[in-house]
Amino acid sequence: MLNHIFKLIVILTINFSISITLYAKTIEQNKLEFQINSQGLINGEIYFFFTIITPSELNSLKNGLLDLDSVGILKNSGIKIELGKSMYVLNRPVGFFDDKQLTQLEYLSYILNRQKLKDKGEGLFEVTHVGNETYTYEMKSYFDADDISTLPNSKVSRAVLAARELDTISKSASTIMVTEKKNFSNFWLGGITVSSYIPLKENKTLVISYQLKARKKDSDSKSDLKDSYKNEIESTRNLENSFQVND
């Protein structure tokens, strides 16, 4: 009987912990350089900023944002840029987030949830998004190194260096990942996500991500795009926390 009660308490505790993670607040911020709420982050809150601007407006918003564009999407004329920034804490040690884990097909398939992946070799993946609109794009990630000359080109090197300068705390990042997405459907020119993985304490890692996506025309409202970005952040955070590592 006591053994049964003990098992029940353990199950309830686990379910309660999962509920805190799954239903924690996602809080929109009104400016890019928002303040960190340490306790809120530890408790599972997600903070994000989202806007749609032109490349020239992006340049005036904050120095260094243009350097995140390792793909060159900002050079196109007549486009709008989706700019997003997110910040949340994962219940994993920072050592989990290395280049091998973050480019593993099994891990990516789980994190990208409901999207189909094809490994094309040398870290390049073909991704097919299945949903209300089906489209395909190519995705490849690069990682910072002690010697930035090991990065593939100067554009990726600049993106890594810019990420370290955009947020002071990112200077202590254990890993910075630059993910390029190219060859989208007709409405998209491409996108870049730069994520910094920063150790907070044992089994707690702070993730700060910037996203730039280039749109050829306004096919969706800002509100819809913001909701999509918010849902994507929540889904990614929850999937990153729930991925099971094979020993």
pLDDT tens-digit readout, 39-53:
999 999 999 999 999
CA angle 177, 155, 219 (to 5 degrees): 75
Which stretch of DSSP H or E encloses residue 80?
strand 80-90
- Here the tokens at position 34 are 């928002």
Q: How confident is the model at residue 170 (pLDDT cuts 50, 70, 90)?
A: very high
**Interstrand relation of 175-182 and 204-215 (parallel, antiparallel or unpaired):** unpaired
CA 121/CA 88 separation, integer angstroms: 31
Lowest pLDDT segment from 12-26, 75-89, 153-167: 12-26
**Interstrand relation of 46-53 and 26-28 (parallel, antiparallel or unpaired):** parallel
* Domains in the chain: ranges and CATH: 2-242 (3.30.530.20)
CA 144/CA 137 separation, integer angstroms: 23
- The pTM assigned to this predicted structure is 0.85
